[in-house]
Amino acid sequence: MAGIDGKMYSNMVISAANALENQKEDINNLNVFPVPDGDTGSNMSMTIGVVRDRAESLPDKLSDCAAQISRMMLMAARGNSGVILSLFFKGMAKALDACDEADSVSLAQAFKSGVESAYGAVMNPAEGTILTVMRVSAEKGLEKAEGEFKNDPAGLMSYMLDVATKTLEETPEMLPVLKSANVVDAGGSGFVAILNGMRAALYNNGVVSAAPAKPQTAASADFAAIDASDITFGYCTECIVEKEAGLCSKERIDGLKRTLSEMGDSMVFAEDDEIIKLHIHTNEPGIVLSLAQVFGALLTVKVENMRRQHTALISKAAEPEEKTSEADMKDYGFVSVAAGDGICAAFTDMGCDRMVIGGQTMNPSLEDIITAVDAVPARCVFILPNNGNVYLAASQAAKEIENKKVIVLPTKTVPQGIASLYAFDPEASAEDNERAMNDAIGTVKSFSMTYAVHDSTADGMDIREGQSLGLYNGKVRYHADSDEECLKLMLPDMTSACAVTLFYGEDADAARAEKLGAIIEETLPMADVTVISGGQPVYKYIISAE
């Protein structure tokens, strides 16, 4: 066959996107652990699917087409698997930059360049992942490109597909966790689907999507759709109290928390030996501040009328956005990734300028993160990914931003993100803040609770579908037949905690959450325990212990 031109290359990528879309649920189900967050197939599909959705804009020249596809995929990349995939195509575009058409050798060299680009994004690549499947197929393809398949790009692609399929089947022997779960690597499976789609297009039999889907974008609140009368508690009230000796016994503080909890919602109550930090949405800010003042002097106070803020936000949304002048830029800003109204409120109340809605099962794209950072009027912006599968996308997004300093903190959980914000000092340098915030990440223990979506055997645990699953710093560590039993298994790992915060999610109710909070208080009598409506999906409970 003739060489691969821009039109054929775009057909190959579109066919690959369709093949991946058709198999994404099967790929999602290859998730090693039984938690309900398998999203590898979805992330890869949304990353490459943007090419299908914008196919009409692709140029005919191969080098230009490859470059534009690379840029599209990079901006749409979601999750670790999506970022790795986008960087593979970025490396391919780099190798095809000087090509009007690609022959077998050019195609094999493009694959090699793609592998190098993808490997460059991963600090400690493990064998048995998508990277292995990519690398072996590219290496074997390069060996055959100048010989058996010299003038046969379609034949070469078929050969690389066979190599990739065989390598994928061997991934359980490379990664014990895959062998234990009796599955192949999900990302590698997605890459095999992509090669299958590309091969089909080269034989003029491109894969057709069974259910075309537009890539999701991060949610943006429609303030005009909310009636100001629907805001139950109108005043966002915050204060910091300097504790006065003799007035702050545990019994008195517990009494204050109980009283305040009946006066509003979205309450966040934190304390140490010297101060109390309080946030609450209420209709009686004066009474709240008076109650807080009983325990010591008020160091800071902030009361904001949320109904007026709501009206202002509607007006602002209707106006064309004005670019912030250099004189109006502040030194520091924050972008945080999280889901759930209560959790997002906690981050916002601690100073986050922009929230990107996302996390497990809904990883934001690079474009979502870049848009949020661009909207922050600050010279230096800290990004808090708060999820291990968002960190790589955040890091790549930071590389795309040139007009401000961007620092990505390695927060892999919501508690780590909140802890890092507590350590921020507006008077310190960016470097000192980064160091202090990274140190703070290590001081908090992160627990979460969900349910098993299928039977599994991993790390010596025989887990049954429907059981309550407990995670410690993102790893499945506990399982039991009820949430209460699972929590009791977690508690020995919280014994050193002075403060415990339990965020309950959209699938949990307040009464059950309070019951779990009481179990924590009974077991850890010296710890300050706070129960907050987080509203997060997937995980019924997220628990911070520090």
Per-residue pLDDT tens for 6-61?
999 999 999 999 999 999 989 888 876 666 556 788 889 999 999 988 888 899 89
Cα separation of the two ends of the chain: 64
Q: Please, is 231 exposed, middle or buried when counting C-beta atoms within 10 Å of its C-beta (0-12, 13-18, 19+)?
A: middle
Q: Is residue 207 part of a domain?
A: no
Q: Is residue 1 part of a domain?
A: no
- pLDDT, residue 32, reads 64
Q: Which residue has the tokens 């290496």?
A: 139
Residues of the chain with pLDDT under 70: 1-2, 32-38, 211-231, 268, 270-272, 306-327, 360-361, 458-459
- The contacts of residue 357 (CB under 8 Å, 6+ apart) are 218, 219, 337, 338, 339, 344, 364
Structural domain boundaries enclosing 376: 326-443
* Same domain for 367 and 239: no
Q: Is residue 140 part of a domain?
A: yes
Last residue of a domain, one of 287, 322, 357: 322
* Same domain for 460 and 384: no
* Same domain for 489 and 431: no
Which residues on adjacent β-strands are paired with residue 78? 365
CA 424 to chain CA centroid, Å, is 22
- pLDDT, residue 277, reads 76
> What's the CATH code of the domain at 236?
3.30.70
* Same domain for 432 and 470: no
- pLDDT, residue 94, reads 94
From residue 443, how far is each of 139, 417, 418, 456, 496 by CA, in Å?
44, 11, 11, 31, 11
Q: Is residue 211 part of a domain?
A: no
Q: Is residue 212 part of a domain?
A: no
> Residue 33 is encoded by which pair of tokens?
């652990």
Half-sphere exposure in the Cβ direction for 121 (13 Å, CA): 28
- pLDDT, residue 28, reads 86
* Same domain for 452 and 521: yes
Which residues on adjacent β-strands are paired with residue 365? 78
